[in-house]
Amino acid sequence: MNKIQNNFSIEEKKEIIKKTWLLKPTKEIPFIIDIEPRHTATKKYFQSDKAELDWNLNYHNEQRKGINDYSIPNIKLNKGIGLIASAFGCNYHVNEKADPWIKPIIFEKNVNDVYDLAIPDVKKNNIFKEVYNRIEFFQLNSDLPIRLAKIPSPLVTASLIWDYTSFVTAMILYPKEVHSLLEKITIVTIDFINEQLSRIKNLFAMSHEMLYIPKNFGIRISDDVAALLSPTLYKEFGVKYNTIISKAFRGIIVHSCGDMQNVVETMMEIEGLRGLDFTLPNNSNWEIIKKTVVGKVALNLRYWHADLNVGSEVDFLVYTNKIVEFFGQKGIFLQTSALNSEQARNYADNFHKILT
């Protein structure tokens, strides 16, 4: 149906990626080069299944032509990070700049309302049904594998439902109410993932991102709130619920965009942790990441142009060499970006020379 051109064997890529997740030696470090600007759930793509499918086909057929990295052609659902919060009753506002903006419904003045929040039915809720309709549309009109919708951690979803400015302090002032909310969110998160898995006939990965994650290797979640917390708070409100999700899917990979030096050691306490996924330029203390993570679980290191400020004078090949020299090669993935297709092709060709 939708033929994709790629010079690499998909099976060879998958095998190298699997070995990296398992901390086994590989002939080179797997890497992915995205093309900026970042594709998000802006109004056009959030509302139109056809526009989203067309974008994906163009991205892989045209923009990514000749980029010899470890990406595998697939389709992104691209419905934003606020689906679960919206299913709980939060209004959302689509816009032309980013994922839909989510409006909280819990504030310090109505904290007891968390007890009245109904757990949405993942089969019948209209927000979730829009996702399932998109899955069906993609499957009818393409034979490419499909990613999962973006899965936030329970903490992130809670921070969307509960006014963000008071959510962190609420863990101290209203711990029972926060736990009540997190318990409900965790149930829905697991059920929503399982419902997607029951409907997607050709699954790409247990993730919404480009990096391949086999179904039996666990689920990837986005946990950006973690960087704001103390180790004690993260252990009580993060590790606990991430572990429940991990047990449901035989493992977990945790992404966080912030500076993780305060909680990376606590993150390692999540049962079934398969990997950590960090935005490297936001982390000032590489040493604690290396000491805590490398050789114990896989580590995906992201450094897009947007992370390093577009137009900066950073030499990406020099920066990549610096990363490899510091973190080594065992269980390491690299995820970077280029400003256009030609630059991405050049990056990929040079990466093969330095990552073997």
Burial profile 148-157: b = 16 or more Cβ within 10 angstroms, e = fewer? bbbbbbbbbb
Percent of the chain with pLDDT over 90: 93
C-alpha–C-alpha distance, residues 277 and 118, integer Å: 32
Half-sphere exposure of 338 (CA within 13 A, CB side): 20
List domains and CATH numbers for the chain: 10-354 (3.20.20.210)
- Taking only the tens place, the pLDDT of each residue in 262-301 is 999 999 999 999 999 999 999 999 999 999 999 999 999 9
Q: What does the pLDDT look like over 296-335, one tens digit per residue? A: 999 999 999 888 864 556 788 899 999 999 999 999 999 9
Compute the distance between CA of residue 98 and CA of residue 21 in angstroms, rounded to an integer: 31
Q: How far apart are CA 253 and CA 239, in angstroms?
A: 12
Distance between start and end Cα atoms, the chain:
35
54, containing H or E segment? helix 49-58
d(CA 275, CA 280): 15
Reply yes or no on whether the pLDDT at 7 is more than 70: no
> The tokens of 351 are what?
């990466």
Provide the whole-model pTM: 0.96
